[in-house]
Amino acid sequence: MNASLHRAVAHIDLAAITHNARTLRERAGVELMAVLKADAYGHGLVPVARAAIAGGATWLGTALLEEALALREAGISGVRIMAWLTPPGDQYREAIDSDIDLSASSIESVEEIAGIANSLGRRARLHLEVDTGMTRGGALGSWPQVVATAAKHVAAGDLFLAGVWSHFARADEPGHPANEAQRNSFEEALAVVYESGMKPEVRHLSNSAATLVDPRARYDLVRTGIALYGLSPDPTTLGNAVKFDLRPAMSLTARLLLAKDVPAGVAVSYGGTAMTKRATTVGVVPMGYADGVPRHGSNALAVGFDGKIVPVLGRICMDQFVIDLGPNSKAKAGDEVTLFGTGGPSVDAWAAASGTINYEIVTRLGPRVLREYR
């Protein structure tokens, strides 16, 4: 379908993705992993992968193995692909056959991956994840045993130690003592690896925030997610993404379903949580929380229309919401509304109005929203 006729369209600027990858690679001074989990943060897995590679990304990262396999199936080659959220019994055989790097943070996971690699007569590329203070993924008290198990299988020829890695919990708070504590813990974990006789191909700790503001944490490879899409990891603590020469890659538009004049003093949408304060024109936007418009943004969000920012009136519904276009508006059905992006509020403004973060705004867009690439 022609995007200009579609009810709702996420416009993805692939040149912005390429620019951001290049900017981040130059800032980091080391290899760049473009993090593409959750359908590339809602921007589209395969098109974003190609745009990031064009900007200098030499690694691609996904949370799920099926995402990594989809990249290979789409013909993405010549770059390393890593997947890290793989439960027991996952598609390890297919991953090893497809030259996908895997991650392990337990003895059991190391043993399972090594066993499958052995059965295939191949060496699996493995990254060992250590918990340095996130208290999420990664080995903690068992780290020496995990390393020893990996070393045994590296010596046997079943595994290649591709990397050692961890993840920051508070990198978007520069100067917080937790960041230095995590760097120190990471160094201690690396020392255990070196003592085993192994040397990882790459060491990686930095997420987007650390890539932008913490040169000491960049090591051999940085993993950039939200920054790749031209958004700041935390606009409050780090500042707007423009400060780092990053360009937002997504704009979201919709076409008015209806525009009509209503009198003052009428209730709008479910529960009557909004009342018109004057006679005005309202527009019905055919998008709702089923499409990813946050319901928490009811009576708080705004959109762009005809060069102005206009407010949302009443509760966000599953498939639609109402906006106040002002008295005597000339709006008509089919006119374009910009929910966020060029011509409307920023993603950060939407996140603030909804009490959430910019990550959630872009990743929650549903499949009913057409993606248009340019």
Beta-carbon contacts of residue 28 (< 8 Å; ≥ 6 apart): 206, 211, 218, 222
My answer on whether 28 and 176 are in the same domain is yes
What is the pLDDT tens value at each position of the chain, 374 positions in all? 566 678 999 999 999 999 999 999 999 999 999 999 999 999 999 999 999 999 999 999 999 999 999 999 999 999 999 999 999 999 999 999 999 999 999 999 999 999 999 999 999 999 999 999 999 999 999 999 999 999 999 999 999 999 999 999 999 999 999 999 999 999 999 999 999 999 999 999 999 999 999 999 999 999 999 999 999 999 999 999 999 999 999 999 999 999 999 999 999 999 999 999 999 999 999 999 999 999 999 999 999 999 999 999 999 999 999 999 999 899 999 999 999 999 999 999 999 999 999 999 999 999 999 999 99
195, 221, 244 — which closes off a domain?
244
My answer on whether 313 and 350 are in the same domain is yes
In a domain, 5, yes or no: no
My answer on whether 257 and 232 are in the same domain is no
Q: What is the CATH number of the domain that holds 78?
A: 3.20.20.10
Q: Could you list the active site residues?
A: 37, 270
197, 224, 244 — which closes off a domain?
244
In a domain, 9, yes or no: no
My answer on whether 227 and 82 are in the same domain is yes
In a domain, 290, yes or no: yes
- How many of the other CB atoms lie within 10 Å of CB of 240? 13
In a domain, 1, yes or no: no
Distance set, CA 320 to CA 96, 220, 290, 336 (Å):
45, 47, 9, 15
224, 244, 264 — which closes off a domain?
244
My answer on whether 224 and 347 are in the same domain is no
Structural domain of 218: 14-244
Number of domains in the chain: 2
- How many of the other CB atoms lie within 10 Å of CB of 199? 11
In a domain, 4, yes or no: no
Q: What is the CATH number of the domain that holds 309?
A: 2.40.37.10
